[in-house]
Amino acid sequence: MMSRVYKGMFAGFIAALAVSALEVAQYLIGPWAVSFPRLVSVMLGMDSVTWIGWVGHFAVGTLILGPLFGILCPRMPTETPETKGIVFAVGAFLIMGLTIAPLTGIGVFGIRAGFISVAWLVLTHAVFGGVLGNVYARMVGTAWRQSRIRDHVHLAH
């Protein structure tokens, strides 16, 4: 049986894939926002090496955010796994935007990339979180959902 950490890792990888599809589509349409992988490569001081940003994007999603979500998910305050994931991922964006981003020179929340890019980052983090929560819940199985419903019904009476 897989632990919550490994399930989180898998869910984080799938969520990173989903966001990558959005990033590629946005680029092919005609890039109107700076992608997260591009910002990661700039943050790492390798702005001419975009593939480094893609590696960083998958590494953070799979090796940091996924396992952390697996650990924190049962303790999060919302009801559905998708909303838990969205709250978690947007929270991660807020933490990154207030700490790491300013230290790397891209400004608070990466604002030096422009408002549209910051809005795009919030949107893609929300998508990442929704997919993360959904995939994680599917891996945990129906028992998790049933126990949440049972707990909720029990508390209501």
User: Is residue 13, in this structure, part of any structural domain at all?
Assistant: yes
127 inside domain: yes
**Residue 157 falls inside a structural domain:** no
Residue that has been written with the tokens 């604002």 in this structure = 111
Which residue, among 4, 34, 59, has the nearest Cα to 124 in the 3D structure?
Answer: 34
Instruction: Specify the long-range contacts of residues 150-157, CB closer than 8 Å, at least 24 apart.
Output: 152/79
Confidence of residue 114 (pLDDT cuts 50, 70, 90): confident
Residue 132 CA: distances (Å) to CA of 42, 76, 77, 81, 146: 25, 14, 16, 8, 19
> Which two structure tokens, joined as six digits, stand for 151?
């707990």
Domain encompassing residue 129: 4-149
**Would you call 93 helix, strand, or coil by DSSP?**
helix
Number of domains in the chain: 1
Residue 154 resides in a domain: no
Q: What is the C-alpha R_g of the chain?
A: 17
* 130 lies in some domain: yes
pLDDT band at 27 (very low <50, low <70, confident <90, very high): confident
CA dihedral for 84, 13, 55, 38, sign (positive or negative): negative
User: What is the pLDDT, as a whole number, of residue 1?
Assistant: 52
Other C-beta atoms within 10 Å of 96: how many?
18
Is the pLDDT at 100 greater than 80? The verdict is yes
Tens digit of each residue's pLDDT (9 = 90 or more) over 41-93: 877 778 778 888 888 889 999 999 999 999 999 999 888 999 999 999 999 99
Statement: residue 110 has pLDDT above 90: no
